[in-house]
Structure 1
Amino acid sequence: VEVILQPTPALTWVSTGGILDLYIFLGPDPQSVIRQYLQIIGYPMMPPYWSLGFHLCRWGYTTTNTTRKVAQRMHDENFPMDVQWNDLDYANKRRVFTFDPWRFGDLPEMVEEFHKRGMKYILILDPGISSTSTPGTYSPFDDGLKRDVFIKNATGQILIGKVWPGPTAFPDFTNPDTRQWWEDCIRDFHSKVPVDGLWIDMNEPASFVQGSVEGCPDSDLENPPYTPSVVGGRLNSGTLCMSARQKMSFHYNLHNLYGLTEAYATHSALLKIRRKRPFVLSRSSFPGIGRFSGVWTGDVRSDWEQLRFSIPAVLQFSLFGVPLVGADTCGFGGNTTEELCVRWMQLGAFYPFMRNHNDKPNAPQEPYVFGQRAQAAMRSALYLRYSLLPFLYTLFHHAHASAETVARPLFMEFPNDPNSRTIDKQFLWGSSLLISPVLEQGAVELAAYLPPATWYMFTGFTTLWQFLLLPAPLDTINVHVREGHIIPQQEPALTTTASRNNPFFLIVALSAGGWARGDLFWDDGESVDTFEMQNYCYVIFTSQVVSNPLKLNGALDSLVLGGLQVFGVPSPPRYILANGEKVRDFTYRTDTKVSF
């Protein structure tokens, strides 16, 4: 479908065919529109807590020892990181569900080492199944043949395309037998390599030949009366024949659903195998995929334009019901620069999903390869993110339970403010944190807009709503807290396994009337359906800094409040009470009106 905005204003829809069911969501406000939309396509899944930490990947970690050294170097240089990834380097002859016996022969041991250090491990899983291995040597294809799980061509033979391992067959995830075969393949591999999540790539589905290695028939499906402006000019360019046959229909009718059906099958398999909250990351997407998967924005280039474009891309997915989304920090294609990578890591610290991922031929871009000043800036951004993970996790709970957004455009929160409607270089976390990143090379100050409210810097200084110029040296990303909100934080550590045991802190940003409110959702971070099974705790904080637990269980025993900052206190407090007793050791700054 192509949708054209006319100046009238009007929309012109041009479709390749099919039946169109049109839903119109009337609001009355933007958040209501999103909630009404998600009531149709489904609310997003609740991600595991560890998946909100920092992820590191590269196509080109060619051995387990190389991969180990990367993770160890991150730890030695005090960069928080939760998840180490491998691209297709791990696979034997680039065939999925295998690992190279020479370069990755001790992959199972490496994964267990990561687990003992409180880290997680994820690898790539493409849908294309190699079709040229000697019979009896590659069970995913042999078993798939027996169980008839692959997409067929117009004559009923298995359609063969070409992806990384060479000639490949493509699973038909609309077939229940295929989903069971996929689960069995994952289960067998997981019994050897206990991965914590799966990265499903190339699932548009992508192919290096047009349609199939034998071409496609000359038919109305391959040459419809109307073809959108797709790369290559044909619907089967870089993918399968439109006349290919799947269980549910022709591929022509199912092409855009391929990533969604694979995400569903992968999520379901991990849930049954691991019996924990699944983590799936998909390149292809379709409405409803947020129920099963996160999404990243694909192979972005390492340049300033792509850095800027990543913000509206992330915000759009948030509106589409996919809150777990991010772009590859520092870019995937081409060589980054030190300055670009610093600024991208600062912005990426506020992507809901944060992963640094790099292509094989490019210069390295792990945080530890840069100069000390750049490293310090990146480290500061990561520690800031980790300190805010309880707040971010609570936002994900609200997305899962009530269809709220996590990363949020300004117009969602300020729909009546004309200035907020066109801003795509700043964004919010929830309703209370405003992120204003540097997006221009060489910039040391930033033109920003603060919507109608009083905003506090993290130092406590206040600013009223306005356009203004913010200082932004290389070590700084500007973050403001909105009046009337309380932000739960936790002392950061090198992994969420460690940080979850640390004390909590609160930022209390008082309104002019002296009130503020915040909340915290907390569970074990990975069990299934904790909210649905009421196995969690939920705490509401008010401006009197009295925490009111609405739902409690044993998880609350480990929550320790280590301190708080109160912004906007007009005069020095006479006393502060904690658990009914006066606190002797507190400070008040007259310049910032902050008590801590």
Structure 2
Amino acid sequence: MKSYQKLTQPSACRLEEEGAAPAPTGHGKLAPCWVGSGLLVAAVLLSAITVWVLQQVSVGWPQPTLPPKCLLVPESHRFDCYPERRVVVTQELCESRGCCFIESPPPAGGKRGVPWCFYPPDFPSYTLESLNQTALGMVGLLVRREKAYYPRDIEMLRLDVEFETDTRLHIKITDAANPRYEVPLEVPRAMKKAENPIYSLDFSWDPFGVLLRRRATGMVLLNTTVAPLIFADQFLQISTSLPSKFLYGLGEHRGPLLHSMDWNTLTLWARDVSPMESFNLYGAHPFYLLMEEGGDAHGVFLLNSNAMEVALQPAPGLTWRTIGGVLDFYIFLGPDPNMVIQQYQQVIGFPAMPPFWALGFHLCRWGYGSSNETWQTVRAMRNYQIPQDAQWNDIDYMDGYRDFTLDSQKFASLPSLVEDLHKHGQHYVMILDPGISSTNPNGSYWPFDEGLRRGLFLNTTQGQTLIGQVWPGFTAFADFSNPDTHQWWLENLQRFHAHVPFDGLWIDMNEPSNFLDGSEEGCPPGELDSPPYTPAVLGDSLSAKTVCASAKQKASVHYNLHNLYGLMEAKATASALMQIHGKRPFVISRSTFPSQGRYSGHWLGDNQSQWKDMYYSIPGLLSFSLFGIPLVGADICGFSGSTSEELCTRWMQLGAFYPFARNHNTQNEKAQDPTVFSPAARTAMKDVLLTRYSLLPFLYTLFHRAHLQGDTVARPLFFEFPQDVTTLGLDRQFLWGRSLLVTPVLDPGVDSVTGYVPRGTWYDFYTVRSTAALGDCSIPDPCQAPRCASDTGMVKMSAPLDHLNLHIREGAILPTQKPGTTSEATRRNPLCLIVALSSSTSAWGDLFWDDGESLDTFEQGSYSYVVFNVTQVGCSGEGRGASEVTIGTLSIFGVQEPPSKVLLNGQEKPFSYLDNQVQLHLRVPCPGESPSLGVSIPPLLALRVTGRVGG
């Protein structure tokens, strides 16, 4: 018997329709989840009508008589049939599309609320006409019997389903008769069908729909029968119910880490704009992670680079809308969030291993008036012995803001400054924009002359070079979809590097940004620049502050490639740096797209010197961890506006734990590098940077794991505690890896902070007293750390202005070093091992070590990798490699009673014991020529590290 079902429980909708052709083996037919009949439907309908009538009486709105099928759809499950902006949706307009029209009270704050125009349960969609088995899955034919309301709808679609792995499903829907643009992204190809998938897949035939379940729990992850599939040439839409409201990703946007499901639309179209809520920002990442009830997780990636929006609604439900390409979905089944992100990166590619120096502290500003002024800042940092690895310059260094030029007056000494940086083990990074000045006399500016000669710039529809305007004035835009442009870019960089030997590159304005809308002549009429549907982009136009969508590029039109522009430039830039230096490249890009982590890191754009901006940086960096771009951070202390000493001190504490740590601000504002503040603030900033530098071996190892298998570096708490529902909404704290908890102060005028302490024992990173309250800290040798209280829940921690709360998770072993003022100096110091014993007297940790700069050291075996594993019976470590490291100090926390002696390779050694901590000095290589290193504390535990040299 058919019955009405809630849309959030589509699993109950499975049935065989009377008279239908049998479905393929193993795949039943599904009715749409609002189909129903009998007394239950009548009762539901009567109830819905009664509630609706009472609502209209209460608000006093006269309404026409509505079809019962429209009243059957609850408000939270109304999928928008008229999503156009800047249109007053009337009943006539709505019903012209065959949809239901019910007015609803407007939401507060001007946001979009319940759609007035929504799909009825019987709205025409595609029918699945055939479904056949293939070597990897299935191929099907979808047919639409009635025309859609967008032009050039496609009558027949091809459905390809591939069971690629046990945890990855690939579903692609495209035109059955004609080729369409697809994203030129290298993705893995399955060689055989998954043998034991942890998911099951079913289809509805008429109307067509997909229903995906997790086998272990029966949880329905996707159910696309909730609204019709629409596939027109420039409007593609598919909707699904969701199993929970805990959804993350879908960038780049500013806001909390956990997205609101309250009629929230997220637009993906790369745009140059200072970060603000509710608008599309610099990058496009059509990927979401969703946490299910019970702690399981899955992810969905739509491989599509066209302008797009994703509409979230309270059902919970989601609608994808894009205006080109194909619907190419990858679904990742986890089942835990870490595994989902690893599986996602198996498709888009694992991030590159950064050079070791990239993890140091970077300093920049727009407004250094000369190379001498830049040099003064560097010298001041050295004078105060504040750690710094890289000095940057913004566009100030250029002659007329033109790429690959140097202001010969104000920055004449820049080559000498770079030489000085190198002598001190430091590095130099400069900015480049993709807009190339086009107004120079012929023969006077090689980058433009040569690019024009080779045809390497974006063109108009008439085949002329498209001219926009950026910092140097009128400009042409490099076409990085053309392989020949990569060679021209390399040649430009080689020419400039011969004069100024830079170490890394900062590629900015690469959405691409344009001070004009489209070009100096505007954009031509047509459906590329004025498509039938425009997503909710800032400026209400695809060409707002960028180039025309109709611009011609080598690979396609800009309409298709816009969101890929930053990725393509990053790829060209990383390749050029590798050829120039023969080492790992360092590139930071503003615009990003999936797979960007293979070529660059990212900074979160032109933020403000405000407390809320500091908070928003945390969900920003955590979102990019989900996107496979672990080298990420915000402008510390804020870019625009004037910071305060308190704000900058707190932000330096937080920023010291961004994976990418750079202090940067704008021109015409006071300087905000650490040297310009009071002695107390300067000391606090210096101390937290020294703490970061002491943890560089740990951080570097996290990046190795990200590069090798797609782990996150900075991660949300729910990644480690997915069954703890409290963690699902936390975005004012974060973890480095699985074991270091960062709890910054994000509010002014306070000397304490409340943070969540998950279950288990946590050790305060600084204090040497086992009975100290959380947050009551001093700053001794970074190789020391005591035990803290094992309380869980929200805890108020002491946080004076000179203190950042850090806690080590029980069971962790952290490799650290005594910090120097550069990463190069730090690397010369012996390692310190912090062993944080669990309640079961166990701990685990690892260390990856190489020369910090060579290409492919892991692949070539030129590294050391040591795993430390402590148990109550003993502790062992295994290692291999060619880079020898020395363990200088070992600190073991959680030793409950003073040991009578400590043995090193069977020989008794001196040690110290304070507040449940044993500390001893070793000065032994690991791995070294000796076959083993053993430390024992009878009768509690024994630690033994074994290893070999040579890879």
Residue 225 of structure 1 deviates from its aligned partner by 1.5
Q: Which residue is equivalent to 1:99?
A: 406
Q: Which residue is equivalent to 1:551?
A: 880
Residue 546 of structure 1 deviates from its aligned partner by 5.6
Say whether 1:518 aligns with 2:845.
Answer: yes
Q: Deviations over 1:492-512 (max 9, x none)?
A: 011111111011111110011
Say whether 1:401 aligns with 2:708.
Answer: yes
Q: d(CA) in 1 for partners of 2:800 and 2:880?
A: 43
After superposition, the CA RMSD in angstroms is 1.1
- Return the letter of the residue paired with 1:595: V
Residue 106 of structure 1 deviates from its aligned partner by 2.4
Say whether 1:594 aligns with 2:923.
Answer: no
Say whether 1:538 aligns with 2:871.
Answer: no
Query: In structure 2, which of residues 594, 615, 619 is the aligned counterpart of residue 308 of structure 1?
Result: 615
Superposition pairs of residues 286-365 of structure 1, within 5 angstroms: 286-365=593-672
Say whether 1:235 aligns with 2:561.
Answer: no
Residue 27 of structure 1 deviates from its aligned partner by 1.0
Q: d(CA) in 1 for partners of 2:335 and 2:469?
A: 49
- Return the letter of the residue paired with 2:761: T
Q: Which residue is equivalent to 2:854?
A: 527
Q: Deviations over 1:277-318 (max 9, x none)?
A: 000000000011000000000001000000000000000000
Please list every run of at least 4 consecutive aligned residues from structure 1 whose deviation after the TM superposition is greater than 6 angstroms.
none
Higher relative contact order (CA 8 A, sep 6+): 1
Residue 547 of structure 1 deviates from its aligned partner by 6.1
Q: d(CA) in 1 for partners of 2:409 and 2:627?
A: 43
Q: d(CA) in 1 for partners of 2:531 and 2:906?
A: 75
- Return the letter of the residue paired with 2:916: K
Q: Which residue is equivalent to 1:121?
A: 428
- Return the letter of the residue paired with 1:42: G
Task: Classify the secondary structure of the residue corresponding to 1:463.
Answer: coil
Contact 1:537 1:549 in 2 (8 A): no
Q: Which residue is equivalent to 1:572?
A: 898
Say whether 1:562 aligns with 2:888.
Answer: yes
Structure with larger Rg: 2
Q: d(CA) in 2 for partners of 1:369 and 1:307?
A: 20
Contact 1:485 1:510 in 2 (8 A): yes
- Return the letter of the residue paired with 2:865: Y
Query: When you count helix as a share of all residues, which structure comes out higher?
Result: 1
Q: d(CA) in 1 for partners of 2:534 and 2:650?
A: 40
Q: Which residue is equivalent to 1:480?
A: 807
- Return the letter of the residue paired with 1:424: D
Query: In structure 2, which of residues 438, 450, 470 is the aligned counterpart of residue 131 of structure 1?
Result: 438
Contact 2:359 2:660 in 1 (8 A): yes
Q: Which residue is equivalent to 1:468?
A: 795
Say whether 1:370 aligns with 2:677.
Answer: yes
Q: d(CA) in 2 for partners of 1:353 and 1:242?
A: 33
Query: In structure 2, which of residues 558, 563, 566 is the aligned counterpart of residue 251 of structure 1?
Result: 558
Task: Classify the secondary structure of the residue corresponding to 1:531.
Answer: helix
Contact 2:372 2:413 in 1 (8 A): no
- Identity in percent: 56
Task: Classify the secondary structure of the residue corresponding to 2:857.
Answer: coil
Q: d(CA) in 2 for partners of 1:302 and 1:470?
A: 25
Query: When you count strand as a share of all residues, which structure comes out higher?
Result: 2
Query: In structure 2, which of residues 821, 842, 856 is the aligned counterpart of residue 494 of structure 1?
Result: 821
Q: d(CA) in 2 for partners of 1:229 and 1:415?
A: 33
Query: In structure 2, which of residues 501, 515, 529 is the aligned counterpart of residue 194 of structure 1?
Result: 501
Contact 1:539 1:547 in 2 (8 A): no
Residue 538 of structure 1 deviates from its aligned partner by 0.5
Q: d(CA) in 1 for partners of 2:394 and 2:503?
A: 15
Which range moves more in the overlay, 333-342 or 16-25?
A: 16-25
Q: d(CA) in 2 for partners of 1:236 and 1:245?
A: 14
Q: Deviations over 1:433-488 (max 9, x none)?
A: 00000001111111111112211112213222222111011011100000001001
Q: d(CA) in 1 for partners of 2:878 and 2:354?
A: 23
Q: d(CA) in 1 for partners of 2:789 and 2:533?
A: 54
Gaps of 5+ in 2: 1-307, 768-785, 920-951
- Return the letter of the residue paired with 2:706: A
Query: In structure 2, which of residues 725, 735, 738 is the aligned counterpart of residue 431 of structure 1?
Result: 738
Q: d(CA) in 2 for partners of 1:419 and 1:453?
A: 15
Which range moves more in the overlay, 81-90 or 184-193?
A: 184-193
Q: d(CA) in 2 for partners of 1:164 and 1:497?
A: 36
Q: d(CA) in 1 for partners of 2:366 and 2:340?
A: 40
Contact 1:343 1:439 in 2 (8 A): yes
Which range moves more in the overlay, 219-228 or 482-491?
A: 219-228
Q: Which residue is equivalent to 1:110?
A: 417
Query: In structure 1, which of residues 166, 171, 174 is the aligned counterpart of residue 478 of structure 2?
Result: 171
Task: Classify the secondary structure of the residue corresponding to 1:199.
Answer: strand
Query: In structure 1, which of residues 448, 451, 455 is the aligned counterpart of residue 762 of structure 2?
Result: 455
Q: d(CA) in 2 for partners of 1:318 and 1:42?
A: 14
Contact 2:870 2:876 in 1 (8 A): no
Q: Deviations over 1:41-85 (max 9, x none)?
A: 000000000000000000011211111110000010111000000
Residue 20 of structure 1 deviates from its aligned partner by 1.7
- Return the letter of the residue paired with 2:789: T
Task: Classify the secondary structure of the residue corresponding to 1:229.
Answer: coil
Q: d(CA) in 2 for partners of 1:125 and 1:463?
A: 49
Residue 403 of structure 1 deviates from its aligned partner by 0.6
Normalising to structure 2: TM-score of the pair?
Answer: 0.61
Q: Which residue is equivalent to 1:6?
A: 313
Say whether 1:504 aligns with 2:827.
Answer: no
Gaps of 5+ in 1: none
Q: d(CA) in 2 for partners of 1:286 and 1:429?
A: 24
Normalising to structure 1: TM-score of the pair?
Answer: 0.98
Q: Which residue is equivalent to 2:909?
A: 583
